[in-house]
Amino acid sequence: MGEEKGGFEPKIVGFTCNWCTYAGADLAGTSRKKYPPNARLIRMMCTARFDPMFAFKALLNGADGVFISGCHPGECHYIKGNFYARRRIAAMRTILKQLGLDDRVKSYWISASEGVKFANTMKNITEEIRELGPNPMRDKIL
């Protein structure tokens, strides 16, 4: 990507739920909110589908940043999927923090009506990850 043209463009993998954040991203698009295109979204039906191994794998394969985002707690399309997801994400991030690997991982709650929040979040995460620089695992033989 733009690396040669100066400036590092982080690659970010986002795990988003179908009903909220993915729809929020759609809304940002249809309402023509501008945001950096660095995040590749992977649509899941619910954040409860998120398995921390996905994040480990993305990071080990060189993603510069990873985020998980779904409906606000209490607003899950499947009533309580994101309550369970939150426990798993908390466990994963607790482990990553201990190992000093958590700064490239983020989690958010963004609803279908929060197109602006989605766009701003993408701006922020892209800046934060750009600040950190490329994931050192990117060039390693792992």
CB of 115 to other proteins, least distance (A): 22
CB of 41 to other proteins, least distance (A): 19
| Tokens encoding 54 | 């996905």
Q: Pick between residue 31 and residue 97 the one whose CB is nearest to other proteins.
A: 97
Q: Pick between residue 33 and residue 102 the one whose CB is nearest to other proteins.
A: 102
CB of 61 to other proteins, least distance (A): 7
Judged by the rule CB under 8 A, the positions of this chain that interact with other proteins are 52-53, 56-57, 60-62, 73-74, 80, 83-84, 86-95, 98-101, 107, 136-137, 141-142
DSSP 136: G
DSSP annotation string for 6-55: SS----EEEEEETTTHHHHHHHHHHTT----TTEEEEEES-GGG--HHHH
Strands 39-44 and 65-70: unpaired
| Tokens encoding 85 | 């997801």
Q: Pick between residue 32 and residue 141 the one whose CB is nearest to other proteins.
A: 141
Q: Pick between residue 69 and residue 126 the one whose CB is nearest to other proteins.
A: 69
Q: Pick between residue 36 and residue 52 the one whose CB is nearest to other proteins.
A: 52
CB of 34 to other proteins, least distance (A): 26
Which residue reads 């999927």 in tokens? Answer: 81
Cα 125 to chain centroid distance, Å, stands at 8
| Tokens encoding 75 | 């607003």
CB of 68 to other proteins, least distance (A): 9
